[in-house]
Chain A
């Protein structure tokens, strides 16, 4: 309780500090370069100065935080990747050389590519299908809410939920995991799904797909509604059936949105960490880059050089999407 009070006070303190900063600097600026009540040249000179300074006053706290927490670390991580475990001795490319030889890293990269192939594709596919289907039934909104719900659940919470689904009891005992119970009911033998190399990756992916489909569905549903009615009416008049309309008229019109959903989930997949940590912690050949990186951060007292090297690999994989995003955003702003 005491710490909650402490939290609330800090929150109020933090907000007050922000208010004070913004009011204070603004007041000071108006004091130093007053333009109201001044005449001619001086007034316009002061106005010009305040107009040049004020945006930076407005942005200073945010830029400072962004600088410390995101910009500086990117360069620092890059620098650290050329240093040893303590971050002090320069070791050139040996971290990268180690990485390429390391079996666990190769396993992680392989698994990550599997994730990249499967999760964005299936999430987007299910999202699109569900968006299209729910638009046509009266209880569509309820269905959407229920499918969207896992978005609010933490990866760890989702991991527990699915670990329960995958729970395994030796054959002959009553299964309390949904999947094994289903398998037994269908006449199969129960399996410890998490320990089957290669295929266990897919059982982990199911969790992320389960979470992300709601996201894809919400965005694609909005995009589908934005399709001009006339194009669909014209297709109906021309005698197109439901499937033709969906795949030949509707989907092509929302390619842009599909790409956005796809890339957003792709980035999330590259950072997937909690699920693997909670379900297997990389055992049984399920390691992924983000978990491997976390592992090296603390393994044996922490190897910052190798950890940073793996982080750089994740960053490099993200960069193409980053550039694509920036180009899109710039294009959009020019259009305005």
Chain B
């Protein structure tokens, strides 16, 4: 636009955009990569080292003395610490305070004339001049270089053990009806506000614009009271899916009506007038002409509403229970942040499952999202 000719600034522009993009994507990338890493590696090294070999301090136990064999008058106990895993031992020790006292391949004196040798490949040998006693094997601490390992174990664990799988279903249960039901309600209202003349129309439109920005916080307490009252009156639980669907519908309607009204008001008047001349009623015009023509606006709103209901935490916390069959993904994630604060393998995998659906929606339907954003913000000036 400005620099039609190649200015020396062009390089700088590329560089700064690249920097900004990196800044905006790295946090998410870190989450995704971490969620796929082995949990022991994740705990000790940054995700940006995921592709390099990491060094870990591990502990193992030698085989039980019952398995010792007598060889040339000495008693020998041997085995492998790594058990076939693809890693390299660099150091070892037999005291917890000195886990890396000896280099791999060296021989350590562990008392009573016994010696311990651990080799690079993890094989160990305990040699004793007398018969070893007891049933518990010797503790061995070692440092191993473990090659990068990627796994889906974290996902497997959170989906079953941490209840993320159940919450995923709960989130879908909340989001789907809460997205679809308001559309028709809003569309009829928007048509009336756009094309049917009646007294008080301008005021109603102004009210809708005003309601667009009413903070949700204003609604919470009165509605909680209302729900509790309704629940007590009919003897039903106050926190139900029906309740949250209706709540999401109510909170989404101002945007829906506003978006759709703006869109419908922009449709050419001639279409409607010629239909009316042909004897079509308002109802026919709406169902047969306006509704199909408004598809882009309907899609925009549906995407917004879906993202908003899926990502919502506040409404779900207030209007939906916390049982296993009601807790939504965002709520579960907040709970995990409290209970499993340090277990990053669980948090990262759970978080990624939470954000993957919106991301798919985002990347596949971005066009409609942008259009909706452009139509949805009240134009100034």
Q: How far is the CA of A161 from the CA of B363 in the complex (A)?
A: 19
Chain B residues whose C-beta falls within 8 Å of the C-beta of A126 in the assembled complex: 20
Do A297 and B377 contact each other (CB < 8 Å), given the known contacts A165-B30, A273-B314? no
Q: Which residues of A contact B311 (CB under 8 A)?
A: 153-157
With A4-B172, A311-B217 given, is the CB distance from A68 to B250 under 8 Å? yes
Could you tell me if A329 and B172 are in contact, using CB atoms closer than 8 angstroms? Answer: no
Evaluate contact between A261 and B377: CB separation under 8 angstroms.
yes
* Bound complex: CA A277 to CA B282 (Å): 48
Measured as residues with beta carbon below 8 angstroms from the partner, the interface class of chain B is: 35 or more
Whether A159 lies near B337 (C-beta < 8 A) is yes
> Which of A91-99, A109-117, A318-326 forms contacts with chain B?
A318-326
Tell me the count of chain A residues lying within 8 A, CB to CB, of chain B: 123
**A-B interface pairs (CB < 8 A), number:** 364
**Measured between alpha carbons, how far is A267 from B210 in the docked complex, in Å?**
12
Which of chain A's residues has its CB closest to B333's CB? Answer: A156
How far in angstroms is the closest Cβ of chain B from A38?
Answer: 14
B373 x A160 contact (CB < 8 A): no
Q: In the complex, how many angstroms separate the beta carbon of B311 from the nearest chain A beta carbon?
A: 3
Which of B88-96, B122-130, B346-354 interfaces with chain A? B346-354
- B307 CB to nearest chain A CB (Å): 6
B344 lies within 8 A of A167 (CB) = yes
Q: Does B289 contact A (CB under 8 A)?
A: no
- The reply to whether A77 and B351 form a contact with Cβ atoms under 8 Å apart is no
Provide the residues of chain B in CB contact with A325, threshold 8 Å: 209-210, 212-213, 378
| Chain A interface, DSSP helix/strand/loop, else mixed | helix
Is the pair B20, A259 in contact by a Cβ cutoff of 8 Å?
no
Chain A residue nearest in CB terms to B265: A336
Tell whether A154 pairs with B358 under 8 Å between CB atoms, given A74-B214, A76-B222, A160-B337: yes
Q: Is the CB of A165 within 8 A of B222?
A: no
Residues of B with C-beta under 8 A to A3: 169-170, 173, 241, 325
Task: Point out the residues of chain B lying under 8 angstroms from A15, CB to CB.
Answer: 180-181, 184
Taking the closest CB of chain B, its distance from the CB of A74, in whole angstroms, is: 5
Within 8 A of B (CB), among A225-267: 232, 236, 242, 245-246, 255-257, 259-261, 264, 267
- Does B191 make an interface contact (CB < 8 A)? yes
Given contact pairs A66-B254, A146-B25, A325-B209, A55 touches B221 in the complex (Cβ within 8 A): no
Within 8 A of A (CB), among B276-306: 281-283, 286
- The residue that B247 contacts in the complex, of A69, A155, A159, A294, with Cβ under 8 A, is A69
Which segment, of B41-49, B72-80, B135-143, faces chain A? B41-49
Q: Given A14-B177, A164-B34, A256-B381: A174 and B211 within 8 A (CB)?
A: no
- List chain A residues, Cβ under 8 A from B42: 176
Q: Chain A residues with Cβ under 8 A from B27's Cβ?
A: 161-162, 164-165, 178, 210
- Compute how far the CA of A30 lies from the CA of B334 in the bound complex, rounded to whole angstroms: 53
Task: Tell me if B196 and A55 are in contact (CB < 8 A).
Answer: yes
Determine the chain A residues whose CB is within 8 A of the CB of B250 once the complex forms.
65-66, 68-70
Is B84 an interface position by the 8 A CB rule?
no
User: Is B222 a contact of A77 with CB atoms below 8 Å?
Assistant: yes
**Which of B28, B170, B242 contacts A149 (CB under 8 A)?**
B28
B198 CB–A CB distance under 8 Å: yes
Among A61, A213, A259, the residue within 8 A (CB) of B185 is A61
Known contacts A58-B189, A143-B20, A146-B24; is-contact A160 B180 (Cβ 8 Å):
no
Q: Whose C-beta in chain A lies nearest to the C-beta of B186? A: A62
As a 0/1 sequence over residues 65 to 84 of chain A, the CB contacts with chain B under 8 angstroms (1 = contact) are 11011111110110010000
Q: A147-B24, A149-B362, A154-B354 are in contact. Are A176 and B46 (CB under 8 A)?
A: yes
- Return the CB mask of B129-172 against A: 1 if under 8 Å, else 0: 00000000000000000000000000000000000000001101
Are B185 and A18 in contact, CB atoms less than 8 angstroms apart? Answer: yes
Q: Which chain B residues in 298-328 approach chain A with CB under 8 Å? A: 307, 310-314, 317-318, 325
Cβ of B275 within 8 Å of any chain A Cβ, yes or no, is no
B342 CB → nearest A CB, Å: 9
Query: In this assembly, does A26 line the interface, its C-beta being within 8 Å of a C-beta of chain B?
Result: yes
Q: Does B52 contact A (CB under 8 A)?
A: no
1/0 per position for B1-39, CB-CB distance to A under 8 A?
A: 111000101100110110011001111101100100000
Is B102 part of the binding interface, using a Cβ–Cβ cutoff of 8 Å? no
Cβ contacts A302-336/B at 8 Å (1 or 0 each):
00100110111011001001100110111011001
Is the Cβ of A136 less than 8 Å from the Cβ of B3? yes
Q: Which residues of A contact B184 (CB under 8 A)?
A: 15, 18-19, 22
| Docked pose: A256 CA to B246 CA in angstroms | 35
B169-202 interface bits toward A, Cβ cutoff 8 Å, 1 = contact, 0 = none: 1101110110011101110110111001010011
Distance in angstroms between the alpha carbons of A293 and B45 in the assembled complex: 39
Cβ of A52 within 8 Å of any chain B Cβ, yes or no, is yes
B97 CB-CB contact with A under 8 Å: no
Give the Cβ gap from A184 to chain B, nearest Cβ, in Å: 10
Which of A100-108, A127-135, A196-204 sits within the interface?
A127-135
User: Which residue from A255, A278, A312 sits with its C-beta under 8 Å from B381?
Assistant: A255
* A322 & B213 in contact (Cβ 8 Å cutoff): yes
Name the 5 nearest CB pairs between A and B, nearest first.
A256-B381, A69-B250, A154-B311, A62-B189, A152-B362
- Residue pairs across A and B with Cβ atoms less than 8 A apart, 30 shown, are A4-B172, A10-B245, A55-B198, A56-B192, A61-B189, A62-B253, A65-B246, A69-B249, A73-B219, A73-B221, A76-B222, A80-B221, A133-B16, A147-B21, A147-B24, A160-B31, A161-B27, A161-B28, A161-B351, A164-B34, A165-B27, A176-B45, A178-B27, A277-B313, A278-B333, A278-B334, A293-B217, A297-B220, A304-B225, A311-B217
Q: Which residues of A contact B (CB under 8 A)?
A: 1, 3-4, 6-8, 10-11, 14-15, 18-19, 22, 26, 30, 51-52, 54-56, 58-59, 61-63, 65-66, 68-74, 76-77, 80, 87, 126, 130, 133-137, 140, 143, 145-157, 159-165, 167, 174-178, 181, 210, 213, 215, 218-219, 222, 232, 236, 242, 245-246, 255-257, 259-261, 264, 267, 270-271, 273-274, 277-278, 289-290, 293-294, 297, 304, 307-308, 310-312, 314-315, 318, 321-322, 325-326, 328-330, 332-333, 336
17 further contact pairs, Cβ within 8 A, besides A143-B21, A278-B334? A7-B176, A22-B184, A54-B282, A56-B192, A58-B188, A70-B250, A76-B225, A154-B311, A176-B47, A219-B373, A257-B379, A267-B215, A271-B215, A312-B218, A314-B215, A328-B380, A332-B378
